Amino acid sequence: MMPHSLRSLLVLATLALVLASCGRRFDYVDVTLGSSPPLPVTVNSSQVVMPVGVAAQVFFQAVRRNDSVDGDGVDVRSTDSRIVGVIDTGGSAWILHGENIGRAELEVWYDNELVERIPVEITEQ
């Protein structure tokens, strides 16, 4: 007969394994610029800085350690579309555009779960 403490330990270990397998199914969100705007922009997973009026194609992909990527499960939303506009153009591509000068955030969702918040600054030209 297994001691009670050992049984509890096994249950906890099993639970930890189950939770681990149900956790993030990617390791990071890859954010890359897909076009060449006429004015300098900064686009990465830490920040987006772009001049007002400028639009850029940006790819958002969930990347796993084995380098497999998933763009279909990703959704990107603006916290303030009066500052930064987000247009879903299908697949893993979006168009970001600076509507007005100011600050906002991009919310990156994966399988309906908010996984990243990227600060956005729309600057004067």
Write down the least CB distance from residue 102 to other proteins, Å.
10
The 3-state DSSP class for residue 9 equals: helix
The verdict on 75 binding other proteins (CB under 8 A) reads no
Residue that the structure tokens 């194609």 belong to: 57
The verdict on 92 binding other proteins (CB under 8 A) reads no
Q: How many residues belong to the site for other proteins (CB under 8 A)?
A: 26
Q: Do 58 and 32 touch, CB atoms closer than 8 A?
A: yes
Task: Say what the alpha-carbon torsion angle 17, 18, 22, 25 is, to the nearest 10 degrees.
Answer: 30
The verdict on 42 binding other proteins (CB under 8 A) reads no
The verdict on 49 binding other proteins (CB under 8 A) reads no
Residue that the structure tokens 């610029």 belong to: 33
Binding pattern for the stretch 16-35 against other proteins, x by CB under 8 A and - elsewhere? ------------------xx
Angle 67-72-75 (CA atoms, 0-180°, nearest 5)?
A: 110
> Residue 52 or residue 115: which is nearer to other proteins going by CB?
52
Which amino acid would we find at residue 73? G
Residues near other proteins, by CB under 8 A: 34-39, 51-55, 57, 85, 87-91, 93, 95, 97-101, 125
